[in-house]
Amino acid sequence: MNTQTHHHEKDKQDLNKFGYAQELLRSMGGFSNFAISFSIISILTGAVSLYGHGLTYGGAGMMGFGWPLVALFVMIVAASMAELASAIPTAGALYHWASILKNKRWGWYTAWINLIGQIGIVAGIDYSVALFADPLLSDVFGYSSTNTTILICFAVILLSHGILNHVGIRSVSRLNDFSAWYHIVIVIVLVVSLAFFSKGSLNSVDYLFKVGETFSDKPYMFAFLIGLLQAQWTFTGFDASAHTIEETVNPRVRAPWGIFTSVAYSFVFGFIMLAIVTLSIQDAGAATGADNAFIYVISEALGGDFGRVILWLVTAAMWFCGLSSITSFSRMMYAFSRDKGMPFSKQWAQISKKFRTPAKAIWLSVVLSFLLALIDYIIKRNNPDTTYTTIAFLTAVSVVGLYVAYGIPILLKLIAKSQGKFQAKHLGPWHLGKYSDIIGILGLLWIVFISVIMVIPPNEMAGYALGGMIIVLIIMDFAYYKNHFPGPQAALGTSMAEILRREKELESNPSGGSGISHNG
Amino acid sequence: MALGIGIALIAVTCLFALWIVRLAGNNVRNFDESKHESFIGK
């Protein structure tokens, strides 16, 4: 038996222990697992699309201080999550961890909060692509870019991601691998271009750490905290390495590395990119006053045509980011539906026999993300005087939703450990040893801190939206799911014969048919 | 002053990342599968 076959069999047995059949195609290697998180973090999406936000509130110092500060604490959170991924390697990840560490209701709330964050992140990413692509397309085709054309562009981008994700994990996995290299190459191209064309006019390094200058009407310290959204939103989505864990070979080692190293490498390359872009700013006031500060800075530094080429390359990187985010979102929804946690769960848990992908969950991800942006579009159309930006709204929703969902299992693991339920023998190969608790506590403190920061004015609309969604969840819970959600624990009762039957059914019919669903 | 603090912050962040890589890497290498038990909440 070769090493690969041995890993496949061991990974399948590990999954079977939790009562689940190996339904998804397990073909992702370590780099692919890293690549999907690195692509969703996408320094060329978050850091770029919210560059104006960071610069407006925190000035140049936001890039010098804000980025590494946020990165440090996000790495602390990521390390705690990586440890859990190694211990409990199932696609449900966050919600599955919460269910097993405490009970099914904690898991149910974690899943929904994570889903809300995932809707926000997919919508935020693809809306960012549209915000960059639409003005560039309007230059080419000679039309005026408006909120309506941006929304149409957004819908087309979502559609392209839905189709590719439906067609198969192999092609998406290859594109994710390509995306990781693409991000690195584009950052290098951007850095070299700016260094070459701006070498005579670059600011001194001191400028990168300039504090006290804000282009908002808020006091500097307060403005600086609001500006942290730029870095904090960029560092989201690394749970994708855990959501694709049932498609990864040797996941107890590779998924945790994917989670942690995707954050670490994003910090390094993101800092290099932000540093050179910020050092090439000639007039920060004019940049923050422009429609898009990043486009303004690049156009000023590199000139019209070359600047546009760079912006197209950056937009393509954002597109890759959106592709990966739908993969992650749909896997989470598939796992949650497999445990009957959503309305019409049976539908969303279906696997396409032809492509071995959760096809219906993929399309639901697309529809929900579009609806979130559509609602915001309608609100703005009826209230043209609203002051918040769509991108800040979407990103704040995703940051709070995702980080609260990241924090719940970390908290529950600390509690389970203090009660003696979770012991050293339960840890996977990737763990933090005696530093596990202190790293977990620091991560939780950061999550509480940023969850508050992200919903204070001017982002209070995100707070209202999240509050409203939590109320709906509580109603759903008490009205139905409190008594009817079986949770992942129910799967433990699945017989090995039933698990093998499901696996055989998929293997014996690799093409044709619309899908396989979960019974009973 | 701000430059010094900023560089120190970046250095701390980099050192933290390297420390975690080393810590977890050692633990992966020294993992004993025979002592492991899946945590299934029971």
This complex has an ipTM of: 0.96
Residues from chain A contacting residue B11 (CB–CB below 8 Å): none
B21 touches chain A (CB under 8 A): yes
Closest CB to B20: pick one of A68, A71, A79. A79
Closest CB to B31: pick one of A268, A429, A435. A429
Residue of B nearest to A103 (CA): B41
Residues from chain A contacting residue B21 (CB–CB below 8 Å): 260-261, 264
The C-alpha of B8 sits at a distance from chain A's nearest C-alpha, in angstroms, of: 10
Tell me, yes or no, whether A252 lies in a domain: yes
* Per-residue tokens: A291: 């429609």
Closest CB to A68: pick one of B3, B13, B36. B13
Angstrom distances, CA of residue A433 to CA of A253, A425, A520, B1, B27 = 15, 11, 40, 37, 8
**pLDDT bucket at B42, cuts 50 / 70 / 90:** low
Under an 8 A CB cutoff, do A260 and B31 touch?
no
Cβ–Cβ < 8 Å for A398, A117? yes
Tell me, yes or no, whether A115 lies in a domain: yes
Tell me, yes or no, whether A365 lies in a domain: no
CA pseudo-torsion sign A69, A398, A100, A21: negative
pLDDT at position A392 is 79
Residue of B nearest to A425 (CA): B36
Residues from chain A contacting residue B12 (CB–CB below 8 Å): 72
Tell me, yes or no, whether A374 lies in a domain: no
* Calpha distance B42→B33 (Å, rounded): 20
pLDDT at position A517 is 47
Tell me, yes or no, whether A514 lies in a domain: no
- Nearest CA to A429 among B14, B5, B24, B42? B24
pLDDT at position A515 is 44
DSSP string spanning A182-243?
Answer: HHHHHHHHHHHHHHHHTTTTPPPGGGGG--S--SSSS-HHHHHHHHTHHHHHHT--TTHHHH
* Calpha distance A230→A220 (Å, rounded): 16
Residue of B nearest to A422 (CA): B39
Angstrom distances, CA of residue B32 to CA of A384, A479, B27 = 62, 46, 9
Cβ–Cβ < 8 Å for A73, A232? no
Where do we find the tokens 């546009």?
Answer: A308
B28 CB burial (10 A radius; 0-12, 13-18, 19+) = middle
Angle at A245 between CA A239 and CA A249, to 5 degrees: 140
Under an 8 A CB cutoff, do A256 and B38 touch?
no
Tell me, yes or no, whether A197 lies in a domain: yes
Closest CB to A253: pick one of B21, B28, B38. B28
pLDDT at position B38 is 83
Task: Phi first, then psi: give them for residue A67, nearest 5 degrees.
Answer: -60, -55
Tell me, yes or no, whether A127 lies in a domain: no
* Per-residue tokens: A190: 């951007």
Residues 6+ apart with CB under 8 A from A520: none
Residues from chain A contacting residue B37 (CB–CB below 8 Å): 425-426
Cβ–Cβ < 8 Å for A176, A32? yes
* Per-residue tokens: A373: 């942006």
Residues in chain B: 42
Residues from chain A contacting residue B14 (CB–CB below 8 Å): 268
Residues from chain B contacting residue A409 (CB–CB below 8 Å): none
Report the amino acid identity of residue A408: I
Residue of A nearest to B33 (CA): A429
Closest CB to B41: pick one of A267, A430, A489. A489
Task: Choose the mutation target among B20, B33, B35 for the interface with A, i.e. most A CBs under 10 Å.
Answer: B20
- Nearest CA to A292 among A24, A51, A13, A54? A51
CB neighbours (10 Å) of residue A473?
A: 18
Under an 8 A CB cutoff, do B41 and A68 touch?
no
- CATH code (residue A47): 1.20.1740.10
pLDDT at position A198 is 82
CA Rg value for chain A: 22
Cβ–Cβ < 8 Å for A61, B2? yes
Provide the residue range defining the domain that includes A415.
26-119+171-327+393-484
Cβ–Cβ < 8 Å for A255, A89? yes
pTM: 0.89
Chain centre to alpha carbon of residue A210: 30
Under an 8 A CB cutoff, do B23 and A261 touch?
no
Under an 8 A CB cutoff, do A100 and B36 touch?
no
Lowest mean pLDDT among A167-176, A251-260, B2-11, B21-30: A167-176
The C-alpha of B2 sits at a distance from chain A's nearest C-alpha, in angstroms, of: 6
Residues A441/A270/A123/A59 CA torsion (nearest 10 deg): 90
The number of domains in chain A is: 1
pLDDT at position A520 is 36
Cβ–Cβ < 8 Å for A279, A295? no
Residues from chain B contacting residue A72 (CB–CB below 8 Å): 9, 12-13, 16
CB neighbours (10 Å) of residue A194?
A: 23
- Nearest CA to A261 among B11, B33, B5, B20? B20
CA Rg value for chain B: 18
Per-residue confidence in pLDDT tens, chain A, 520 aa: 566 666 778 888 888 888 788 877 777 888 989 998 999 899 999 999 999 999 999 999 999 999 999 999 999 999 999 999 999 988 778 988 999 899 999 999 999 999 989 888 899 899 989 989 998 899 889 999 998 999 999 999 999 999 999 987 778 878 888 999 999 999 999 999 999 988 778 999 999 999 999 999 999 999 999 999 999 999 999 998 998 898 899 999 999 999 999 999 999 999 999 999 999 999 999 999 998 899 899 988 888 788 889 889 999 999 999 998 898 888 889 888 988 889 999 999 998 888 888 999 999 999 999 998 898 888 888 887 776 677 778 888 889 999 999 999 999 999 999 999 999 999 999 999 999 999 999 999 999 999 999 888 878 888 888 899 899 999 999 998 988 888 876 677 778 888 888 878 777 655 443 444 444 3
pLDDT at position A41 is 93
According to the 3-state scheme, what is the secondary structure of A2-42?
Answer: CHHHHHHHHHHHHHHCCCCCCCCCCCECHHHHHHHHHHHHC
Under an 8 A CB cutoff, do A79 and B24 touch?
yes
Closest CB to A17: pick one of B3, B16, B38. B38
Tell me, yes or no, whether A309 lies in a domain: yes
* Per-residue tokens: A151: 């929304």
B37 touches chain A (CB under 8 A): yes
Under an 8 A CB cutoff, do A210 and B2 touch?
yes
Task: Choose the mutation target among B5, B7, B38, B42 for the interface with A, i.e. most A CBs under 10 Å.
Answer: B38
Angstrom distances, CA of residue A121 to CA of A102, A403, A458 = 27, 12, 19
